[in-house]
Amino acid sequence: MTDRPSRSGSAARSFGSVADVYDRGRPSYTRDAVAWATSAEPLTVLELGAGTGKLTGQLVGLGHDVHATDPDVAMLDVLRARLPEVRTSVTGAEDIPAPDRSYDVVVAAQAFHWFDHERALPEIARVLKPGGHLAVVFNARDERIPWVKKLGRIIATPPSEQNSLAVLVAATQFDQPTVESFKNWQTVDRHSIQDLVASRSDVIGLDEEARAAKLAEVLALYDDYGRGMDGMQLPYLTRCLRAQVLDRPETPGLDLEGQDQGEDTVPIPPPTDDDSGMLLIDFR
């Protein structure tokens, strides 16, 4: 269903080597986006690919009973330090340590593209309660703004949510997904914009000289457009996909209690300046 590597593969697990950098540099999510993706009412939520807990804190803030998972223990260590009350498991989306029909919601933020979907989607459907749903969340830079588009040229624009939408549209375990977008802003300065770039998997894989050159290029852009150590606002559109699990017969469950814990797509209309609710200004 996908040619992307598993979240437990070497590229995905490279984030653990820069867990603190990732935590400092990556944006969070707005409460409205998280409430739409999951629910404004407290539910049982399984978070896959939780990383350092960028989404987890928002889930807890909404009152959800959260089980946060990630295959990289170094990433989860950061989450555990911040949210020691949250139950965690070191595991991937392809082998979930939970019985059948355990959760109201399964959510993956900035992680779904790493999953082996042929293995992960049946597992996700298995652990969802009847009527439960899968939510997929992405922060995508708003490259309608000129300086953000230039940043994208330097560090490359990540795959759009179209790929994830196509996977969910084709999935036999779920109903057709619904989509919503939310504005989000991240304050960046000369330090945090370097962390943002240094936490990307393609940059992590560069040799020391190439990585330094990439960071220097980003700093030159920031110095041209930025506001020094006062920082500037990096705009995002948080895209949320939500798909309800389809009814299925009861199947024997897997109880691992005690374990450490190019084809047809449905296009997403691009946002327009009229509905963006923000000025498309260039910080020149």
pLDDT of residue 17: 64
| DSSP helix/strand/coil, 233 | strand
CA atoms of 273 and 280, how far apart (whole Å): 8
Laid out side by side, the sheet with 65-70 consists of 87-90, 65-70, 44-48, 103-109, 128-141, 232-244, 178-188
pTM of the model: 0.80
pLDDT of residue 16: 62
219-244 pLDDT, tens digit each:
999 988 866 667 889 999 999 999 99
pLDDT of residue 254: 41
59-106 pLDDT, tens digit each:
999 999 999 999 999 999 999 999 999 999 999 999 999 999 999 999
DSSP state of 162: H
